[in-house]
Amino acid sequence: MSASPVPAPTRVPTPVPAQPAETPKDDGAAAAKSTPQWQKYLTPILVVLLALALLITVTRNWNSWEGGKAEQVTDDAYVRGDLTPLSTKVAGIVRAVHVSDYQEVHKGDLLVELEDNDFQAQVDQANAAVEAARAAIEDNIRQRELQDARIAKALAGIDQAKAQIAAAQAGKEATQADLVRTRLERKRQEGLYQTHSTTQQKVEVAVADEERLAAQYASRDADLEQARTMLRSNEMAAEAERRMKTVLESQGMQLQADLRAREASLTVAEVNLGYTKIYAPGDGSVGERQVRPGQLVSPGTQVIPFVDKTKWVQANYRETQLTHVKVGDPAELRIDEYPGQVIHGKVIEIAPASGSQFALLPPDNATGNFTKVVQRIPVKIALDDADLATKLRPGLSVTATVRTRR
């Protein structure tokens, strides 16, 4: 069955609105020409001026803004501690290593021990040399005492010689008086004999008395000379003994110097013996052992590193951040090993120079082109919690915040 055809709708004409009169294109061009030329560049110029003003403001005042902050923060901070590589001072063979790797130790604990037989023998030899020097000094003292006795004996001989001289002088004078008297008697007897007033016997007696006293006078004179000779001999002997004592005293000074030298050698030997044992310099822990028993080591060989128990934080602040930072300011530390935990401390030291000045090769800005680089100053921060400080390990990363007091 076929469908019946649908009739097409009737199209109603739409009324066309009246069109306004067309504006001539020449009016728009004329309006554009009437705008001033400088207005095209006004907005770009204002933007550039605003950017320059902002740049100049930031450049001139940024350092003061940064340095004036109440909180100065840096993540260029690390845990620090005294790390000492313990080394040998003398050559020898390692006898024993008394610690293991990373072991905690206390001050005075024996860490490494070397064979000490050679050094002990040197100490014994130096001890023997010191004893010999002391014996030589004692012998010198005894010789000086003996020399004092010899000097006293010589002085006694001098006194005796002087007494003999006095006695001989007195005897000589007495004999001289008798001799003068007998000579006068002889002359008188001989004169009387010429006049036959005396006998031959009396003359002979007078002659004999005069000759006897003359002989006695000569004997007394010889005794006097002998006493004087003895006096000179004793004086020379006493002087010789004094000089000998001076020599002994000089020898004693030399022996004292020799004793001090040998005692110094003994001290050196004992010190070298002490170097065969390496002790912990303080409370802390050791690192990895560098030597083993039986190993031959030479002076300067590192045997084991030692990490002191005391730890601190070294924060490297930019120089522009240290305007108001000073010793005693409180600090807050955030250590990566303890996330979310705030550790309190305070500034105890500020480095006297920037880190570049302590570098192995400090920069020399007087040569070549120059580019200004903001320097960093190390700031030492101590932890308030001493127990926590002992648990930290040097080298850990830290974020440090210092609260300035203005």
- Which of 53-57, 135-139, 368-372 shows the highest mean pLDDT? 135-139
Q: What is the mean pLDDT of residues 12-40?
A: 50
CATH class (in words) of the domain with range 68-114+283-362+373-403: mainly beta
Q: Both ends of the chain: CA-CA distance in Å?
A: 105
Beta bridge partners of 77: 315, 398
> In the prediction, which pLDDT does 69 show?
78
Q: How far apart are CA 119 and CA 90, in angstroms?
A: 10
> In the prediction, which pLDDT does 138 show?
92
Token pair belonging to 7: 């009739």
The pLDDT-based confidence of 361 (bands split at 50, 70, 90) is confident
User: Domain map of the chain by residue range?
Assistant: 68-114+283-362+373-403, 118-273
Q: What is the mean pLDDT of residues 377-402?
A: 91
For residue 217, pLDDT over 80 is answered with: no
**Cα distances (angstroms) measured from residue 30 to each of 22, 26, 40:** 16, 6, 17
Digit-coded pLDDT (tens) for 1-10: 334 343 444 4
Q: How far apart are CA 120 and CA 117, in angstroms?
A: 5
Q: Is 118-273 in CATH node 2.40.10.220?
A: no
Digit-coded pLDDT (tens) for 106-144: 999 999 999 999 999 999 999 999 999 999 999 989 988
Nearest to 346 by CA among 387, 386, 383: 383
Residue with tokens 């400088």: 38
For residue 227, pLDDT over 90 is answered with: no
> In the prediction, which pLDDT does 182 show?
76
Nearest to 299 by CA among 94, 90, 114, 92: 90
Specify the pTM. 0.59
> In the prediction, which pLDDT does 273 show?
95
320, 374 in Cβ contact below 8 A? yes
Q: How far apart are CA 350 and CA 316, in angstroms?
A: 10
> In the prediction, which pLDDT does 270 show?
95
